[in-house]
Structure 1
Amino acid sequence: MSRKLLGMFILATVLVLIVGGCASSNKIPVLKGGYQSENINGYFVQISFQPDNNSFIKYINNREVDRGTYEKLANGVYKINGDMRGFEITLSEDNSFDIIVKKLNDGKPITIKNVDKTPVYFLTEYDDLEEYKSLLEE
């Protein structure tokens, strides 16, 4: 009888460890690095987050359209404080989040996915920058 009880105890312990391990792997990642959207009508939205100073830069087709700071409000929820606009994002377990740029996607959310843990920066200057900044206007 004690052998059967020991076997059940071991089985229960293994199950608890497996279930506990799976539950702990559902952690929300930290907001950092480079994020990018899929092609939205010829446009790509990119955002770089620098956790050292809680700053970000938003690009559309490699053109800087906004920059500022961000702060963590809750687990996976961040407030983005840009020079052009402020908004909140909720980071998913797959290290992505949705934003809305009304002029790019008819007001529908655009999914931005992490492409690298290192922020990316684009230094090329374009002479059509105002055209791209106007995409952020309401």
Structure 2
Amino acid sequence: MKKSKLIILLIVIIFILWSVFLKTNPLLKGFYQSEMIGSHIVQMLVREEDNSFVEWINNREVDRGTYEKLDDKSYRIKGNRQNFEITLNDDNSFEIVISKLNDGTPFIMKNIRTDDFRQSFGEFKDVDEYKSLLD
């Protein structure tokens, strides 16, 4: 009886330690999207292959550029129109602030696809209006 309790206890301890040590950090890669807030949705494609990103607001491309990894969960985003830093959460989401939208409250960007294939939403005549939201 004592022997079986000891074996069960060891198995539980090993399982707990294994789950702690095997926990992997999230990776900034793929397609991220916010919830619709007001009349706006923010999307971002992050490509690991060339450390590039493209950002859209309401399917209009508003910025593109590169990123660099700062540490396990932090990245510096360097775009043509804006530069900022993000920190990945354990669920591979991050926050992004666009001060002219949502009263400066962060959009929560959730990873909805891990592949990083190029994406396009077509052409719109009002792209400059959306780009100005980043100024």
TM-score, normalization by structure 2? 0.91
2:123 corresponds to 1:110: no
Is the partner of 2:94 in helix, strand or coil? strand
Once the two structures are TM-superposed, the CA of residue 93 in structure 1 deviates from its matched residue by 1.1
Unmatched segments (≥5 aa) in structure 2: none
* Corresponding letter in the other structure for 2:132: S
SS in 2 for 1:21: helix
2:25 and 2:113 mapped to 1: Cα distance? 16
What is the alpha-carbon distance in structure 2 between the residues aligned to residue 14 and residue 76 of structure 1? 31
Structure 1: which 5+ runs fail to align?
Answer: none
Shift of 1:27: 2.6
Identity among equivalent positions (%) equals 44
Which residue matches 2:37?
Answer: 40
Structural mapping, 1:64-103, within 5 Å: 64-103=61-100
Higher-Rg structure is 1
Offset at residue 123 of structure 1 (A)? 4.6
What TM-score do you get using the length of structure 1 for normalisation? Answer: 0.89
Conserved? CA contact 1:63–1:129, under 8 Å: yes
2:133 pairs, out of 118, 129, 135, with: 135
Give the Cα separation in 1 of the matches to 2:106 and 2:22: 27
Equivalences for residues 111-126 of structure 1 within 5 A:
111-119=108-116, 121-126=119-124
- Partners of 1:62 and 1:122 lie apart in 2 by 8
